[in-house]
A = this chain, B = another copy of it.
Amino acid sequence: MSHRTVFFVSDGTGITAETFGNAILAQFEATVRRVRLPFLDSVDKAHQAARQINHTAEVEGRRPLVFTTVVNAEVLDVFQHHCRGMLLDMFGTFVQPLEEELGIKSNHRVGRFSDASKSKAYHDRIEAINYSLAHDDGQSDKDLESADVILVGVSRSGKTPTSLYLAMQYGLKASNYPLIPEDFERRKLPPALATHRKKLFGLTIAPDRLSEIRNERRPNSRYADLENCRMEVAEAEAMMRREGIRWLSTTTKSIEEIATTILQEVRPERLEY
C-alpha cells in the first residue's frame, strides 16, 4: 500500500480519536505516519489544522485520513467543508442514532476527561495509582488488606507495568511482589502474602525472553544468564502450582491484555461499573 498520513483531530485531548483510529488501522497492513492534533477548540485553530491537512494532501498527492472526535459544531464544520482529507467522523456517526434511541439531545460537551477531576471514579483512580506505586516491588507490606490484587513473579516478568496499568485503566489497587531465590530455597511464598492468598495472581515469562530483558539491564550478569533465568522461572512456576495461584505468561502479551485478563480473573465484579 502507498504511504498515508493519518490525522487524529479533536477539540479535547485526542486520546479517544487516537485509540479508536489506531484500532481501526491495525486492521490494515498499512504504513502510516500519524499526527495528533489535540485541543482544536476554536474555528481559527480548526482552519489552521485544515490547512496543515490540505498541505499534506498536496505534498503526498493523496488525501490523508482524518479521524475526528470533534464535538463543537462550528469546529467540525470547518473540517467538513474546508479539509481535503477523508473525514472519519466518529462522534457524528453514532451520536444521532443514539439521540433517537435515548430520546434526548446530546450536550456537545467537549472531552470525556473534562470535569473528570471532580468525580469519585477519578479520585479512586488517582488513589489506586498512588497505592500501586507505594506497593511496587514488595516495597510495603502495609495495608495489603486494601489491595484488589497482588501480583507475584520473578524479577522482570512484567509486574510493575501491569500494576500501574491496572490502576490507571481500571482503578484497581495493585500491589506486586517479586519471587526471589530466597523464596525458592524456603519453598514458601513471601510471609506477608500468606494471608492474602485469594488476591494473588502470578506472572511468568519464557526464560529466553526473560534473559533478553535482563541483559538489557545488567549485561552478562548471573541475573541475566539464561540458565539462571530457566531455573528461576521453573521454581516460580512450581511454587505457583503448589500454592494454587492462578497465573499467565506475559511473553507475547501486551500490558493491556495482561491487565484485562487479571481484572476478569481476580475482580470479575469490576467488569461492571
Which residues does A use to contact B, with CB under 8 Å?
Answer: 1, 4, 12-16, 19-20, 22-30, 33-39, 65, 69, 71, 86, 88, 90-91, 93-95, 97-98, 101-104, 106-109, 111-118, 122, 126, 129-130, 133, 136, 160-161, 164-165, 168-169, 250-257, 259-261, 264, 271-273
A sample of 5 cross-chain residue pairs with beta-carbon separation below 8 angstroms, ordered by A number, consists of A12-B257, A20-B20, A29-B104, A29-B107, A88-B97
CB distance from A93 to the nearest CB of B (A): 6
A22, A98, A251 — most chain B CB neighbours (10 Å): A98
Contacts of A103 in B (CB 8 A): 1
In-complex Cβ contact of A30 among B20, B102, B118 (8 A): B102
Taking a contact as CB atoms under 8 Å apart, the answer to whether B260 and A38 are in contact is yes
Contacts of A13 in B (CB 8 A): 256-257, 259-260
Taking a contact as CB atoms under 8 Å apart, the answer to whether B260 and A14 are in contact is yes
* Count of identical protomers in the assembly: 2
CB distance from A106 to the nearest CB of B (A): 4
A30, A37, A118, A164 — most chain B CB neighbours (10 Å): A164
Q: How far apart are the CA atoms of A107 and B259 in the complex, in Å? A: 25
Specify the chain B residue showing the minimal Cβ separation from A63: B101
Q: How far apart are the CA atoms of A122 and B256 in the complex, in Å? A: 11
Specify the chain B residue showing the minimal Cβ separation from A90: B20
Taking a contact as CB atoms under 8 Å apart, the answer to whether A112 and B26 are in contact is yes
Contacts of A102 in B (CB 8 A): 1, 4, 28, 30
CB distance from A238 to the nearest CB of B (A): 25
